[in-house]
Amino acid sequence: MSVFLKDIVPAAQNNINTRFIVLDKARSSATAGANGKSCIALAADETAAVHIQLWGDECDAFEAGDIVKLTNGIFSYVRNSGLVLRAGKRGKMEKMGEFTIAFVETPNVSEIQWNPDPENPKRYIQNGAVSAYSRVFPPLP
Amino acid sequence: MEISSKLIRFSPHEVENHLELSLRQAYNNLQPKLRPPFSLEIPDPQEYLELNKAIVYGVLSDSGSCKTHIKHLHALVTDGYAFFTSLLVGIVVEFYGKLVDSAKIQLLWATKEMIGVSSVGLEDLIVSLLRRIGSGDYSDQNLWLCSELVSLFLENWDCLLEEFPLVLTSALYSFLRLLADHCRVIGVAKLENVKRLEIRFCVKMFREEPDLCLKIGRDLLRLLQDLVHVPEFREIQNGLVVNRCTSSRYFFLRITPEMEIQLRFLLGNVKLGSHKRHQMWFLKKFLLGPEKETVLIDIVRFVCCVIHPTNETIRSEIMPRWAVIGWFLELSKQSQHIERSVKLALFYDWLFFDERVDSNIMNVEPAALLMVWSIPQYPQITHSLLEYLLNLVESYELSRRDMVARGVASAFRDIERKGVIRSLDILIKNAAVASDLKKKLAKLLAPVNLQQLSIPSEKTLPSSEAVLKECSTKVVGVVDNPDQKLGQFC
């Protein structure tokens, strides 16, 4: 089932199916380790924005304005990148279109403070936003 | 086992195109049936569709056996080639740009086969191919398509004329517009041959089928104005008068399907204030690069005449047309010629405006709102537009000036009457508008202009040039009774 970005919650599971539009992309860094280069990008849909992490040839495959379908993605903390949505080893990102999503840049679910749910420590719940907009990719003036 | 596509370039991070996939699957499933001896049994409806799909894939992917496939199709067909042709249209609209070169060649071959049998839906196929000729694109690929298509029209002239005459009119619109660009570009050697063919086709149209040419409507004159410096067209333009509204179908011809989708989205879904990224992407995709901005002329005409938002959209926060056009106008300033042509595209329907044809109001609305909304923050835009419009009226040759002045005056009045802007005083009495312009505008809007129409004497009647003798006596809306003509044609 496909979900909106406002509804994704950090978890150690490869089960997020969604689609979003890439808004901006940082330069890729070759220092990401043995797996090759990676880069962080800003993505959004009609409900929220999120930071995504692209790996290897994904970095060049997607441009700002591309609509991407994510299958079996994962939303979790990655060292040096923060809370990011990515395909991971079991997921897949594919370009499915361009341009035609009217997106919002706030809230950004990567800029939300998530705390463990006291009733179910395996789950996270929202505990306020660190920043309304992305601090890595500030909104255009 | 999935067999990778022979039609399109493979990209690992892209979802498969449904149409391409279904053609490929049909081909793979039916392969044994695609070789002679062909089955004599009549396929059931579902199988018929699958066979069509398989044959399309076979024709496009395999030049060696395409003739066998087409023979198979001829033996099989029961729908006037309608489904086969619609599949080709789907390919052109959805993924022409991704086709490998050999598939493009085969696509043109199949199109010619469909002309040969006058297939149902052929107009759509040819128009979709015409829309694939890029503006300001002088790559080998694009010039190839341009030259293939113009040759196709010349070589299949008689057949097209008999079966699909309006396709020739669409081709004329496309090639006149392309020629305006092609004749300005210097130093592209490969262009010379294409240009020669384009001129040959257009001149042949004017010589042999003047009535068909005039079917374009008044935008024919706009296109020809850009070709006055080309000797072959100088005579043609003389004495040509046509008041008929241009049917919106022509405005699609120089807009690619992708551009259309994005323009409609921009003007139907994106809110003013959060539009910057979409604007940037549109710019990057369609307008960056040498000569690319020429398409702004076509875009502005398309936005004025085709994209007519609903009242609900107009009342919402969605990007209004005038704002997008204001941006296009800024972009056009890189070249004087483009800027002038963009302004003409914006005001073109003003010149012929007739308040009795109310569908016109949406064509003139963007220019009016752009002038009014620019006053507070960008008075220079208001000034430059108003100045352009008033000069345009004055610069018209005597025989047409009254008609044009009347058109512009009625456009202004109708804009006020229909409440597009509350009062024309916002222009006529505004301190931010230069006083000479206000004076000229007031004079134009004085009631006298709406009543006194000078009746042209014999001398000012359009001269019937040899080339256009036929049409200038038949359809030329000679200005003997402009009221009647305008009403009749619009």
pLDDT at residue B487 in the model: 30
Q: Do B12 and A57 count as a contact with CB atoms less than 8 A apart?
A: yes
- pLDDT per residue as tens digits for the range A102-126: 999 999 999 999 999 999 988 899 9
pLDDT at residue B400 in the model: 83
Sequential DSSP letters for A37-102: -EEEEEEE-SS-EEEEEEETTHHHH--TTEEEEEEEEEEEEETTTEEEEE-TTT-EEEEEEES---
Stretch B36-47: mean pLDDT: 91
Residues of A in contact with B274 (CB under 8 A): 104-105
pLDDT at residue B479 in the model: 30
A94: domain CATH number is 2.40.50.140
Beta bridge partners of A97: A67
Please indicate if any CB of chain A lies within 8 Å of the CB of B464: no
The answer to whether residue A88 is domain-embedded is yes
For residues A75 and A135, the answer to whether their CB atoms sit within 8 Å is: no
- pLDDT per residue as tens digits for the range A69-92: 999 999 999 988 999 999 999 999
Kind and range of the H or E run holding A127 = strand A120-129
Q: How much is the mean pLDDT over chain B?
A: 89
The answer to whether residue A79 is domain-embedded is yes
Q: Please give the structure tokens belonging to residue A11.
A: 């978890």
pLDDT at residue B288 in the model: 93
pLDDT at residue A122 in the model: 84
- B2 pLDDT band, cuts 50/70/90, is low
Total domains present in chain A: 1
- A33 pLDDT band, cuts 50/70/90, is low
Q: How far is CA B141 from the centre of its chain?
A: 21
Residue B4 clears pLDDT 90, i.e. is over it: no
Stretch B442-452: mean pLDDT: 72
Q: Name residue, tokens 């040839």.
A: A57
Q: Give how far A101 is from chain B: nearest CA, Å.
A: 8
pLDDT at residue B3 in the model: 63
- B12 pLDDT band, cuts 50/70/90, is confident
Q: Please give the structure tokens belonging to residue B204.
A: 């042949």
For residue B16, what is the nearest residue in chain A, using CA coordinates? A96
Q: What number of H helices and E strands is found in chain B?
A: 27, 0
Q: Give how far B271 is from chain A: nearest CA, Å.
A: 8
Write down the domain spans for chain B: 1-130, 255-466
Least confident of B103-117, B177-191, B423-437, B466-480: B466-480
Q: Please give the structure tokens belonging to residue B25.
A: 């699957």
B179 Cβ neighbours under 8 A, 6+ residues apart: B195, B198, B199, B202, B227, B230
Q: Please give the structure tokens belonging to residue B305.
A: 């005449």
The partner residue sitting opposite B15, judged by closest CB among A95, A98, A104, is: A95
Residue B117 clears pLDDT 90, i.e. is over it: yes
The answer to whether residue A36 is domain-embedded is yes
Please indicate if any CB of chain A lies within 8 Å of the CB of B18: no
What amino acid occupies position B152? L
For residue B276, what is the nearest residue in chain A, using CA coordinates? A140
The answer to whether residue A132 is domain-embedded is no
Q: Give how far B281 is from chain A: nearest CA, Å.
A: 6
Instruction: Write the secondary structure of B142-176 as one string of H (helix), E (strand) and C (coil).
Output: HHHHHHHHHHHHHHCHHHHHHHCHHHHHHHHHHHH
Q: What spatial distance separates the first Cα and last Cα of chain A, rounded to whole Å?
A: 36
The percentage of residues in chain A with a pLDDT greater than 90, rounded to a whole number, is 85
CA torsion, ordered B151, B153, B157, B161, to nearest 10 deg: 180
Between B103 and B289, residue with greater pLDDT: B103
- A30 pLDDT band, cuts 50/70/90, is low
Q: Which domain holds residue A98?
A: 5-105
Candidates B355, B341, B396; CA nearest to B180 is: B341
Burial class (CB in 10 A: 0-12, 13-18, 19+), B212: middle
- B241 pLDDT band, cuts 50/70/90, is confident
Q: Do A69 and B15 count as a contact with CB atoms less than 8 A apart?
A: yes
The answer to whether residue A128 is domain-embedded is no
pLDDT at residue B320 in the model: 97
- pLDDT per residue as tens digits for the range B58-85: 999 999 999 999 999 999 999 999 999 9
Instruction: Return phi, psi of residue A38, to 5°.
Output: -145, 160
What amino acid occupies position B427? L
The answer to whether residue A121 is domain-embedded is no
Please indicate if any CB of chain A lies within 8 Å of the CB of B269: yes
Q: What is the ipTM of this complex?
A: 0.94
Q: How far is CA B247 from the centre of its chain?
A: 10
Angle, CA of B354, B357 and B358, to the nearest 5°: 110
- B356 pLDDT band, cuts 50/70/90, is confident
The answer to whether residue A63 is domain-embedded is yes
The answer to whether residue A18 is domain-embedded is yes
Q: How far is CA A48 from the centre of its chain?
A: 10
Residues of A in contact with B260 (CB under 8 A): none
- pLDDT per residue as tens digits for the range B320-346: 999 999 999 999 999 999 999 999 999
The partner residue sitting opposite B281, judged by closest CB among A57, A95, A99, is: A99
- B211 pLDDT band, cuts 50/70/90, is very high
Rg of chain A taking only CA atoms, in angstroms: 14
The partner residue sitting opposite A61, judged by closest CB among B13, B270, B276, is: B13
Residue B461 clears pLDDT 80, i.e. is over it: no
Beta bridge partners of A95: A68, B14
Distance CA A29, CA B284 (A): 25
Residue B425 clears pLDDT 50, i.e. is over it: yes
Please indicate if any CB of chain A lies within 8 Å of the CB of B282: yes
Residue B163 clears pLDDT 70, i.e. is over it: yes
